[in-house]
Amino acid sequence: MSVNATNGTRDAITEVLCAAQEIGALIHAARDESTLQTTVIGRLAQALGFAHAALLLYTHDTLVVVTVVGGGNGQPSPLTTHLETIGVRMGDPDAGAVRVLAPSGELGTLVLVPLLTHGAPLGVIALGDARPLTPPSAVLAAAGLVGELLAGGLRELRLQARLDAANRRLAPEDALPVDAELLDPLTGLANQPRLQQEVQRTVSDAVSMGGQVSLLYVDIDHFAVICRRYGEKFGDAVLARVAEVTQKSIRGRDLAAHLAHDLFGVLLPNTPGLGAVVVAERLRERLTGLDLYSPDGDYHLTVSIGVACLSPRVTTPEGLLAKTDASLREAKALLGNQIMFDWDEAVEKMENG
């Protein structure tokens, strides 16, 4: 796919955004850093139509190649002949922006996508092709979003590895159970007080350390009608199945809670908004695919999900809870079976490059 064709610009943008969504899902589920690295840069190169890709990460202030995609026939990728150029360019004042270069030799185009964590350089994705390409600015902005996702994912994996190691050193042989007062007796999930406690703690930590937090509210559509028509026992069975699917759809570090009769919450630490939307869509699909047998036969459940994350406009626990609630109300106002998330900031960022 050539991204410099005017008629193909919209398709190119769509392809890169689809890649970003897939990468968000990969990062959310990732457990292995090396596999994540190779998959992400290969998918980005495919989306942009580039033949070669490399990931370079800083080790003691030195850029080191950790993954290369492309080359073939036993030949090294031509990107490796431009490592000095890449290293010099990473020291430029505009190193935080996606850049398009026209190097000499085997490469007609070299694109550098920076990996930044809270303004500090983590490394760079280098994309190369023999053709002279001019990717549209919106495509480059989308590529930059992928760089942000990968940088955040790598940082999360490394922080989680350190946290897991610390937990192994410090944890007692028998971990203390969660206080029964903080559990929902029907579903076994956390209850509303515990979710609120964790939102307070997680958001405070993220704001002080520059991390990311997202929150989902999951509401069963027409639950009151379900209970009136089929009885409370069937309603309780629905709640139990929703709780089971929700718990199985998240990571161990995430927290699922039953907040009210038909309302569930999912707290996603170290997760940006795009990753949370991926989780929400996966959860919506799994819940709508449940096999529920009512007295009248099969019943097909639907849910409404509100998504919110920390942002320049949402910086407090109360703000995150209120924003998630507002997103859920918007989803329900559209008659359910919807996911609502405020994309304004993401759109503004792409439009401004």
The per-residue b/e assignment along 210-222, b for 16 or more CB within 10 angstroms, e otherwise, is: ebbbbbbbbbbbe
Could you tell me the two tokens for 303? 């849910």
Q: State the pLDDT at residue 178.
A: 56
Q: Are the CB atoms for 98 and 121 separated by under 8 Å?
A: no
Vertex 225: Cα angle to 221 and 229 (nearest 5): 135
Q: How far apart are CA 266 and CA 251, in angstroms?
A: 11
* CATH of 6-160 given 2.60.40.420, 3.30.450.40, 2.40.110.10, 3.90.1170.50: 3.30.450.40
Q: How many Cβ atoms from other residues are within 10 Å of residue 234's Cβ?
A: 17
Higher confidence at residue 116 or residue 118?
Answer: 116
Residue 171 has pLDDT above 50, yes or no: no
Q: For residues 9 and 14, what is the distance between their CA atoms, to the nearest angstrom?
A: 9
pLDDT at 167: 55
pLDDT band at 64 (very low <50, low <70, confident <90, very high): confident
Q: What angle do CA 168, 246, 194 make, to 5 degrees?
A: 60
Q: What is the rounded average pLDDT of the residues 158-184? A: 62
- φ, ψ of residue 2 in degrees (nearest 5): -95, 120
- Kindly indicate the confidence band of residue 218, based on its pLDDT and cuts at 50, 70 and 90: very high
Residue 6's pLDDT is 47
Which tokens is 194 given? 């515990």
As a whole number of angstroms, the distance between CA 300 and CA 294 comes to 10
Residue 68's beta-bridge partner residues? 54
Q: For residue 256, give the nearest of 208, 190, 197, 302 by alpha carbon.
A: 190
What's the pTM value of the predicted model, to 2 decimals?
A: 0.54
Domain residue spans in the chain? 6-160, 180-351
pLDDT at 30: 64
Q: Which CATH architecture has domain 180-351?
A: 2-Layer Sandwich (3.30)
* Averaged pLDDT for residues 84-96: 73
